[in-house]
Structure 1
């Protein structure tokens, strides 16, 4: 089975804007990304999908290395005002549903996956972290940056778009995979 061909066929069923395949060993993983999470993100230390709950950068690197191949894909959302965070974030749910569906299809096709997505998980109105286990570990996707991955570097390597204008958002998901 050619995994990439199978994945390309299943992606055709979804409104995916762009995608690219890569080798996980070629990912740019940098602890500086984690430092930015810690100093600039309000979700740091409040969610199972964010640091420190996802593990150290080195532990994340070890998880990543268990999956030799990866898929990065993007979806597009239009907004009236990109500075309106409520409007902007409301467009993310459609992207996350596509991510869940693509992940499910990849599993059905005999692949083990590690899925990372955009932003912190927002399935629950209040995360159980740190007092209780995640309520939806089968649906919760840590954010790409939580693992120290430099998304802009990968987007550039794959010759994908990163910016489409002031009223257009690009949401990204990264799915690492291996044969079961």
Structure 2
């Protein structure tokens, strides 16, 4: 049995909404996505090891991703009270990050050097050590897909994954890159 078959068996036990395997060459990178980071649209630019500029240039992120054989994009979707329910969004994000930890554990059993990318910067520490000291939890700090310049909005439909799961839901994405 190959690694991907074993991984799929383990993933079936987790509350992942949708996922797809792809080759790193299929990842859509965009300087415009990184420009949003640099415009500090989420407020994390230059504040976290998981975000730019700490993650490196888009070109260095691309190079890192292309160094892997395979990738997997996965989602969760959570109902929220309304599109303005920021508390609901944050709770859904924390649940997504907890699932990302579980997915990371699965992949790291097969490839200890798997690269895990997730949402909007790291949530592990209340205050990040960036840039004054090294990350306290590098195995649990997952760089943001957007910070890597990855255009999830365009990738999702190409992989038959819903980007939007309807009114009053929040959908989060994570990506794993690994070697077979």
TM-score interval, smaller chain: over 0.9
Cα distance in structure 1, aligned partners of 2:124 and 2:157? 30
TM-score, reference length from structure 1? 0.94
Aligned-residue RMSD, C-alpha: 1.3
TM-score, reference length from structure 2? 0.94
- Contact 1:50/1:120 (8 A) holds in 2: yes
Corresponding residue for residue 106 of structure 1: 107
Q: Any stretches of 5+ residues in structure 2 without a counterpart?
A: none
**CA displacement at 1:85 relative to structure 2:** 1.8
Corresponding residue for residue 161 of structure 1: 162
Cα distance in structure 1, aligned partners of 2:129 and 2:101? 21
Range moving further from structure 2, 42-51 or 106-115: 106-115
Cα distance in structure 2, aligned partners of 1:41 and 1:91? 17
Corresponding residue for residue 21 of structure 1: 21
Corresponding residue for residue 148 of structure 1: 149
- Deviation readout 1:119-172 (Å, 9 max, x if unpaired): 211111111111111111110101101111100111011011111222111111
SS of 1:115's equivalent?
strand
Cα distance in structure 1, aligned partners of 2:46 and 2:86? 21
SS of 1:49's equivalent?
coil
Q: After TM superposition, which residue ranges in structure 1, 4 or more long, deviate above 3 angstroms?
A: none
Whether 1:97 and 2:106 are equivalent positions in the alignment is no
Cα distance in structure 1, aligned partners of 2:82 and 2:22? 33
Cα distance in structure 2, aligned partners of 1:124 and 1:82? 27
**CA displacement at 1:44 relative to structure 2:** 0.7
Corresponding residue for residue 46 of structure 1: 47
**CA displacement at 1:111 relative to structure 2:** 5.6
- Deviation readout 1:76-98 (Å, 9 max, x if unpaired): 21111221223211211111111
